[in-house]
Amino acid sequence: MQDQIIELAEQWLGWQTMHIRPARTKHGWKTPVQGALGKGWPDLVMLRGGRIIAAEMKTDKGKVTPEQADVIGLLQAAGVETYIWRPKYWDDIVEVLR
């Protein structure tokens, strides 16, 4: 779903996107981030014009971790549009990005 959102956002709707990919290490998959926000940082950040969106991707039954909820709350307090996006919300996702 994330790849579809990035394609829609960048190729069709003029958004700039960023996703931090995990990397395989000898200790398993790790996301190379540093600092207190790293553990709960949203999967996708998008910019267009004066808007910034931070979206956490989840399966239809996936749960938001406490760290993710904390970061989302901090981003909301800073005026960032934040979303938890699931496959069942596809039509809503398209409307938000338009």
Does residue 30 sit within a domain?
Answer: no
Does residue 61 sit within a domain?
Answer: yes
How many structural domains compose the chain?
1
Does residue 55 sit within a domain?
Answer: yes
Distance CA 1, CA 75 (A): 23
Does residue 28 sit within a domain?
Answer: no
Residue 10 lies in domain = 2-17+36-97
Does residue 26 sit within a domain?
Answer: no
Specify the CATH number for the domain of residue 61: 3.40.1350.10
Model pLDDT for residues 45-84, shown as the tens digit of each residue:
999 999 999 999 999 999 999 999 999 999 999 999 999 9
**Residue 23: pLDDT band with limits 50, 70, 90:** low
DSSP states of 59-85 as a string? -TT----HHHHHHHHHHHHTT-EEEEE
* Entry pTM: 0.86
Does residue 92 sit within a domain?
Answer: yes
> What is the model's pLDDT at position 38?
78
Does residue 42 sit within a domain?
Answer: yes
Percent of the residues in the chain that have a pLDDT greater than 70, as a whole number: 95
